[in-house]
Amino acid sequence: MDVIDFPGWDGFLGTRASLALDVVCVGMLVVVLVLGWSIRQVRVHRRYALHRRVQLRLAGLLLVVLTAFELDVRLNGWRDRAAGELGGQPSYDVFVALSIHLFFAVTTVVLWILVIFLAWRRFPNPPQPNSHSAFHRRWGKIAAIDMLFTTITGWVFYVLAFV
């Protein structure tokens, strides 16, 4: 079996993906689970301050991890790893999956910024329900669903490109 010398660090999931891709792939599972837990804390237990802290930390963590991921992709690329031993270009399916994933990823970023910024401005500290609550519930739910779709489509892209 030939060994392929890819630029950048190799991942830990046993695929052709880089370390950054593997970290994001596993990390998104953690993000979705923590996001669901945080939503439950506010909806069921009315722990508004905990929800706020978790969401702000999650957003900060995502900012750092996704910035590192984007730098890795920009500096090292992904196409050579996706093409694997065959060389050339990844398949058409990979590009379709990436396009769908990018749609959800971009809309998720926009929605999270919107929901967090408006919550920061319109909720008191410590946070309590107020006139902004209905908007926040509606758009927070949409943002959470978008994050779930970002994660699922990211995994589909990962499998098609690197497994």
pLDDT in the model for residue 149:
98
Where residue 8 falls among pLDDT bands split at 50, 70, 90? low
Residue 11 lies in a domain: no
Residue 84 lies in domain: 19-162
List of residues 6+ apart from 121 with CB closer than 8 A = none
Residue 4 lies in a domain: no
Both tokens of residue 94? 């990979």
What pLDDT digit, counting tens, does each position of 98-157 carry?
Answer: 999 999 999 999 999 999 999 999 999 999 999 999 999 999 999 999 999 999 999 999
Closest CA to 62 of 34, 82, 43: 34
- Is 48 contained in some domain? yes
- Rounded CA separation 67/58 (Å): 14
Q: Reply yes or no: is the peptide bond before residue 126 cis, omega within 30 of 0.
A: yes
List the beta strands (DSSP E) in 9-129: none
- pTM metric for this prediction: 0.88
68 lies in some domain: yes
Are 32 and 148 a contacting pair, CB within 8 Å?
yes
Q: What pLDDT was estimated at residue 65?
A: 87
Query: How many domains would you assign to the chain?
Result: 1
Q: Supply the pLDDT for residue 9.
A: 81
Residue 60 lies in a domain: yes
pLDDT at residue number 77: 82
Return d(Cα 123, Cα 133) in angstroms, integer.
Answer: 8
The confidence score (pLDDT) of residue 86 equals 65
Question: Is 3 inside any structural domain?
Answer: no
Tokens of 138: 């509606």
Model confidence band, residue 2 (pLDDT cutoffs 50, 70, 90): very low
Residue pLDDT, tens place only, 14-71: 998 988 899 999 999 999 999 999 999 999 999 999 999 999 999 999 999 888 888 8
pLDDT band at 74 (very low <50, low <70, confident <90, very high): confident
- Is 80 or 156 the better-scoring residue by pLDDT? 156
Residue 81 lies in a domain: yes
pLDDT score, position 4? 47
pLDDT band at 88 (very low <50, low <70, confident <90, very high): confident
Residue 7 lies in a domain: no
